[in-house]
Structure 1
Amino acid sequence: MTTDKVIFDTDPGVDDALALYYLLRHPQIDLLGVTTVFGNAPVALTTRNARFLLRAWGHDAPVHAGAAGPLTPDMPPEFWPTSIHGDNGLGDHPIDLEPQDDPDTAAQFLIDQIRAHPGEVRVLAVGRMTNLARAVQMAPDIAGLVRDVTLMGGAFRVPGNITPAAEANIWGDPLAADIVFGAPWRVVAVPLDLTTRTFMDSAMLARLAQAGGPGMRLVADLSQGYVRFYQAAGYDGMLVHDCTAAVWLTDPDLFTLTEGEVRVLSDGIALGLTLMNPADRQGPLGAWEGRPRQFATLDGQPDAILDRIAQVCTA
């Protein structure tokens, strides 16, 4: 089996933890490194959390801290989703590492790795797109050298989860997202249109924890606050947004792509709205003129995606 060289850009984050575990367990994935960004917690905590998870799972991939705030000017004040991810970003699971004062090296790490492995690197970004946007601004040549970019983000035909207009990762830095969608590389967005249908119930999570050994038990343990968040809304389980995007890398046959130019609104009440001009639409392009056609997995097979997560995480 050939392996894919992957950089995981993340903000752990409970569902990020499951996605990272999936990447580490999958024999097709060669994890080159982890870059971190603000989002589910401040970047000092997301970086500490990434190191904690990698150590717990016996992996020595390098971790590079990235953006502490957005590129978008005049953003509303950031609020940390502690009701979902806990005060420490990992469901308040005990963590025996302290945050460090890391330099901001994520964008340069992305540039260096993409240049070192032309045509091979796949970037999976499941947080704000700030590191990616900064990397392609700093080194536009990487757009022609990267294999592809996968994003967990956007809400194209469904309501957002941070506002009615916007999904959280896009909302957190909409200018960065617009830059990423507008760069001349292949982007595949895995949006709420599909991830809100990919729901792991509590019984399945418990089965995976029992069958998957200590690594999967850690995922289940730190996910309990996340499950309680959904239980308060009447759902017994959790959405696996980020791991759904990870499955796209290994099992694209479980997804259905829609193609078109994408813009992201960066001001007003629709801040963070993702708008695609579908490839089959007839009419003037306006602000979409000159943009590259990108892709979004607006549909797919949620049950099969969950089955694949189970297979990999308990193998």
Structure 2
Amino acid sequence: MAETIILDTDPGIDDAMAIMYVLANKHLKLMGITTVFGNATIEDTTRNALFIKDKFNASFDVACGAAAPLIKTPNGPTVIVHGEHGLGSVVADAPKSVAEEETAWQYMAKKITANPGEITLVAVGPLTNLALLVQNAPEAVSLVKNVVIMGGAFGENGHRGNVSPVAEANVHDDPHAANIVFAANWPVVVIGLDVTHEIACEEHYIETLRDHAGEKGRFIYDVSQFYLGFYETELKRKACYLHDPAALVYVSRPELFELREGPIVVVEEGGAEGMTIQKTESRVFSNDAWEQRPSQSVAISVDSEAVLNHFSDTLIGDHA
């Protein structure tokens, strides 16, 4: 039976790659996309989601979400990574589809309440929409099957921050929201830079998708060219990381990841803003911000070759 997903996302190049994967994966059912600011403005991320829906004649819903963080001053779109409007050099046509009347958190609450224990929330952008769900519809929290997050960095495998020495972009965009989400009493799995920075797509891998994965593969190739250019400047090699798709691969193939348990706290202000810290020992300290928080799961290792093979096999198999 297919796993039902609501994808909370800020498309975004790797977000678009993630959407292609879930549309190609027969074991995943994409009920809806909820949009959030982050890689681009909320207007652009919502437009991009609707554009992808139309382009691939998909049936998922789109609900527009938060335009800014809960408290902090917005960091602004990551134009240097994702281009002026979020999809690199690809410009979204004016969509024919329209967004739902409900806001993102309202849409989530409605669908979760109507389908108790059946929906997995996969969040691959700032966590503002999920925090608003916790704040405004706390009764829905216990009805969620799982929460899978692409975000954070815990120092495993030598990987820490990508927007500061200690912070990952999605969490750094709204650290207050991330703290609310990690403190909620639902099962969270964090797929952070500890593992996504182990999953690199070389240029030839993207070219293989272009040549053998049909329209979805060609779309991934087109949007990823800007992304590859950014990483060529940063890494001195033409490759990009499979950040957001990794969270969806986890939903479909969790055995490819190793997890570690423990409560998580996010630094909300100061030079370490956005830093994610997991407590991994049972000892109670006299000053212990983790003590009252539920244990959550953090991915600390990954079979990167298997993830890359599964991702390409899924897309190529869908076209075959």
In the alignment, what sits opposite 2:145?
A: 147
CA displacement 1:27-77 (0-9 Å, x = unmatched): 111111000000000001000000111211120211000000011x2x244
1:226 pairs with 2:227: yes
When residues 161 and 103 of structure 1 are mapped into structure 2, their CA distance, relative to the original with a 3 A threshold, is: farther
The TM-score normalised by the length of structure 2 is: 0.94
The SS at the match of 2:289 is helix
The answer on whether the counterparts of 1:44 and 1:101 sit within 8 Å (CA) in structure 2 is: no
In the alignment, what sits opposite 2:29?
A: 30
The SS at the match of 2:140 is helix
In the alignment, what sits opposite 2:215?
A: 214
1:190 pairs with 2:191: yes
1:17 positional shift: 0.4
State how 1:11-22 maps to structure 2 within 5 Å: 11-22=10-21
In the alignment, what sits opposite 2:106?
A: 108
The SS at the match of 1:94 is coil
The answer on whether the counterparts of 1:16 and 1:126 sit within 8 Å (CA) in structure 2 is: yes
1:254 positional shift: 0.2
The answer on whether the counterparts of 2:32 and 2:60 sit within 8 Å (CA) in structure 1 is: yes
State how 1:236-275 maps to structure 2 within 5 Å: 236-275=238-277
The CA distance in 2 between the partners of 1:127 and 1:139, in whole Å, is: 20
In the alignment, what sits opposite 1:70?
A: 69
The SS at the match of 1:38 is coil
- In structure 1, the gaps of 5 or more residues are none
State how 1:151-162 maps to structure 2 within 5 Å: 151-157=149-155, 158-162=159-163
The answer on whether the counterparts of 2:9 and 2:33 sit within 8 Å (CA) in structure 1 is: yes
The CA distance in 1 between the partners of 2:304 and 2:282, in whole Å, is: 27
The answer on whether the counterparts of 2:64 and 2:99 sit within 8 Å (CA) in structure 1 is: no
Q: How many residues in Structure 1 have an aligned counterpart in Structure 2?
A: 311
In the alignment, what sits opposite 1:85?
A: 82
1:13 positional shift: 0.1
The CA distance in 2 between the partners of 1:312 and 1:58, in whole Å, is: 19
Moved over 4 A (4+): 98-104
1:237 positional shift: 1.4
State how 1:98-137 maps to structure 2 within 5 Å: 105-137=103-135
In the alignment, what sits opposite 2:292?
A: 290
The answer on whether the counterparts of 2:109 and 2:140 sit within 8 Å (CA) in structure 1 is: yes
The TM-score normalised by the length of structure 1 is: 0.95
Query: 2:35 corresponds to which letter in structure 1?
Result: T
CA displacement 1:153-206 (0-9 Å, x = unmatched): 000113210111200000000010000000000000000000011000000110
- In structure 2, the gaps of 5 or more residues are none
The answer on whether the counterparts of 1:197 and 1:302 sit within 8 Å (CA) in structure 2 is: yes
CA displacement 1:119-143 (0-9 Å, x = unmatched): 0100000000000000111111111
Query: 2:252 corresponds to which letter in structure 1?
Result: T
When residues 101 and 58 of structure 1 are mapped into structure 2, their CA distance, relative to the original with a 3 A threshold, is: closer
1:23 positional shift: 0.6
Query: 1:201 corresponds to which letter in structure 2?
Result: E
The SS at the match of 1:270 is coil
The CA distance in 2 between the partners of 1:101 and 1:141, in whole Å, is: 25
The CA distance in 2 between the partners of 1:96 and 1:178, in whole Å, is: 36
